[in-house]
Amino acid sequence: MTSLPKNPTPASVRELLLGKARAFLQSQGVDVAAELGTRARAPAVSERPPPAPVTASSRRDKRAAAALEHQRQRPLSRGERKERAERELERVRRKADARYQARFAQRSAQWGAEVPTGGFRCIPREVWLMGWHCASDATGQALRYWMEREPNKVAVGAARAAALGELYPGGPTTRSWADPTARSMMTFSLGLLRLAVPTARKGRWGAVVRGVGLGALARLLVPPGCGARVPHRNRLSGRHRGAGSAPGRGQLGYLQELARTGFLYSQQLPAGEVDRFEVGSSGYANNRYWLVAPASMAPLDDATRALLIALHRAGQRASSEKLESPKSPHKSRAQHPLEPAQAAPPAPS
C-alpha cells in the first residue's frame, strides 16, 4: 500500500493521485495515452525552470516598451495629425481607385472590349478631382494647396517658370498668377506629375507618363457641368504663330513652354515598339512625357546642377507666393458652374 509522504505539498499529493488514477485506468483496459491525445503533461512546479535573472538587456527592453507606450498615448502635434490624416486619405483614395478600375474592367468585359496586354491606362479619380478643383477655384487657394502637396519641387519650379513666362529662374515674368493661362498651365503640369510613374533611369529625367492622350489631358482643365469648352489640342501642343512663335506670350502650347523650362521632353515611338495601351485610336502611339526628377542619380555639369537648385528653390516658394485675383471681376465658365434649370412657369388658367 502506498503511503503518503511526510510533510506533503499540493504538488506531491497531485502527482501521487494522478499516478494512482493512471494505474487504475490501465487496469481497466483504458488506453490513457490515446484518450489524452497529444496533449503533454504540464510540468510540476518543481520541474519548471527557475525565472531568468533580471539583466541589463531586460531592463532596456522594459524601458523601451514603456517609452513606446508613452509615445502611443501622448497627444499628437498638429503636424503629426496632418501627416496621419493625409496617409489615411491616401489609403482611402487608393481603395476608391481600385474599385473604380474594377468596375471599368467589368463593364469592358460586358461590352466585349479586348483588354490590352498591359491593361487599360485609367486616370485615377484623384487626378480628375485635383484638376477640376484647381480649374474651378477663382481664388487660387486650390492651386496653392496642390503645389504644396507635390513632393517634386524641381518640377514645380520648372512649371512655375513656364506658367509665369520666365526666361530663366529668377528673371522677369510676362504673366502673373492672375492670368488664367498661368493657372491653367500649372494645373496641367500638376496633372502630369500625378500621372507620372517613377523609373530606374539615371540622370535628369526620372519619371514618365505613358498611354495618356492629349484629349484626356485637356479634359483635366474643364470641370464637368460648367458649360466651358474643352481646350483644343493646339492649346496644349501647338504653335499659334508657326516657327516664329514667341515663348512667354501665349503663342506656344503648354508642352512647348514646359519643355523650354526643363520640365519635360516628349518622345514618340513607333506603334510596334510600345505596349498596346499606348496606341491611340489613330493607330499611332501616344507621346511619352519624361519629367524632370527631384534628384539626379548621375553626375551633372555645374550649369545643370545650378539650374536644378534654382528650380528647387523656386518650387519651394511657389505655394507661398501671393496669388493675385483675376483681372476680370466676372468668373469664367470653368469657375462658374451652370445654374440648375428653373421650374417651368405655371400654365395660364
Are both 199 and 102 inside the same structural domain? no
Integer Cα distance of 283 and 270 in angstroms: 10
| pLDDT average, residue stretch 65-79 | 75
| pLDDT average, residue stretch 261-276 | 89
The predicted structure's pLDDT at residue 250: 61
Are both 189 and 92 inside the same structural domain? no
The predicted structure's pLDDT at residue 345: 42
Q: What number of other Cβ atoms are within 10 A of residue 342's Cβ?
A: 6
User: Is 67 contained in some domain?
Assistant: no
Of residues 111 and 168, more confidently modeled: 111
Q: What SS3 state is found at 112?
A: coil
Are both 204 and 270 inside the same structural domain? yes
Report CA-CA distances (Å) from 7 to 11, 124, 145.
12, 79, 81
The predicted structure's pLDDT at residue 11: 60
- What range defines the domain where residue 134 resides? 124-328
3-state secondary structure 121-177: CCCCHHHHHHHHHHHHCCCCHHHHHHHHHCCCHHHHHHHHHHHHCCCCCCCCCCCCC
pLDDT, the chain, mean: 77
| pLDDT average, residue stretch 62-79 | 76
Of residues 22 and 154, more confidently modeled: 154
Contact 16, 2 (CB under 8 A): yes
pLDDT band at residue 207, thresholds of 50, 70 and 90? very high
Query: What nine digits make up the cell of 226?
Result: 460648367
**Confidence (pTM):** 0.65
| pLDDT average, residue stretch 233-260 | 75
The predicted structure's pLDDT at residue 139: 83
| pLDDT per residue as tens digits for the range 29-40 | 777 666 665 455
| pLDDT per residue as tens digits for the range 75-104 | 778 777 778 887 888 788 778 878 877 887
| pLDDT average, residue stretch 18-26 | 75
| pLDDT average, residue stretch 225-230 | 80
Are both 100 and 238 inside the same structural domain? no
Asked whether the predicted pLDDT for residue 248 surpasses 80, the reply is no
> Residue 102: what residue type?
A
Asked whether the predicted pLDDT for residue 302 surpasses 90, the reply is no
The predicted structure's pLDDT at residue 347: 46
The predicted structure's pLDDT at residue 115: 65
The predicted structure's pLDDT at residue 156: 94
The predicted structure's pLDDT at residue 38: 47
Torsion sign (Cα): 39, 42, 47, 51: positive
| pLDDT per residue as tens digits for the range 144-185 | 999 998 999 999 999 999 998 887 666 677 788 888 888 999
Query: What is the domain count for the chain?
Result: 2
The predicted structure's pLDDT at residue 191: 94
Asked whether the predicted pLDDT for residue 339 surpasses 70, the reply is no
The predicted structure's pLDDT at residue 288: 93
Integer Cα distance of 338 and 346 in angstroms: 23
The predicted structure's pLDDT at residue 75: 78
Are both 151 and 259 inside the same structural domain? yes
DSSP string, 214-261: HHHHHHTTS-TTS-PPPPPHHHHH-BTTGGGPPTTTT-B-HHHHHHHT
User: Is 234 contained in some domain?
Assistant: yes
The predicted structure's pLDDT at residue 348: 46
Of 42-51, 57-66, 78-87, 164-173, the least confident: 42-51
User: Is 58 contained in some domain?
Assistant: no
Residue 245, classified by CB atoms within 10 Å of its CB into exposed (0-12), middle (13-18) or buried (19+), is middle
Asked whether the predicted pLDDT for residue 203 surpasses 80, the reply is yes
User: Is 334 contained in some domain?
Assistant: no
User: Is 176 contained in some domain?
Assistant: yes
Of 167-176, 194-203, 245-254, 323-332, the least confident: 323-332
Are both 150 and 105 inside the same structural domain? no
User: Is 333 contained in some domain?
Assistant: no
Longest alpha-carbon distance in the chain: 119
Are both 243 and 281 inside the same structural domain? yes
The helix (H) or strand (E) run that includes residue 290 is: strand 288-292
The predicted structure's pLDDT at residue 229: 85
Are both 109 and 172 inside the same structural domain? no
Buried residues in 249-287 as b, exposed as e (16+ CB within 10 A): ebbbbbbbbbbbbbbbbeeeeeeeebeebbbbeeeebbb
pLDDT band at residue 349, thresholds of 50, 70 and 90? very low
Of 72-86, 252-266, 286-300, 319-333, the least confident: 319-333
User: Is 157 contained in some domain?
Assistant: yes
Are both 208 and 310 inside the same structural domain? yes
User: Is 56 contained in some domain?
Assistant: no
Are both 134 and 250 inside the same structural domain? yes
Are both 194 and 215 inside the same structural domain? yes
Are both 90 and 217 inside the same structural domain? no
